[in-house]
Amino acid sequence: MSPRRNRQCGANPPDRADHAGAGRYGFETTEEWRGEDWVVRPVGGGGATKHYRCPGCDQEIPPGVPHVVTWPREGDVDDRRHWHKACWNARNRRSARLQRSRNAPRY
Could you read off the pLDDT of 38-97 as tens digits, one per residue? 999 999 988 888 999 999 888 999 999 999 999 999 888 888 999 999 999 998 887 555
- Residue 25 vs residues 31, 35, 103: alpha-carbon distances, Å: 18, 26, 34
Read off φ and ψ for residue 70, nearest 5 degrees.
Answer: -130, 150
pTM: 0.64
For residue 11, what pLDDT is reported? 52
Please state, in angstroms and rounded to a whole number, the distance separating the CA atoms of residues 3 and 100. Answer: 58
Say which amino acid occupies 43. Answer: V
- Ordered DSSP codes for 23-54: -SS-B-EEEEETTEEEEEEEE-TTT--S-EE-
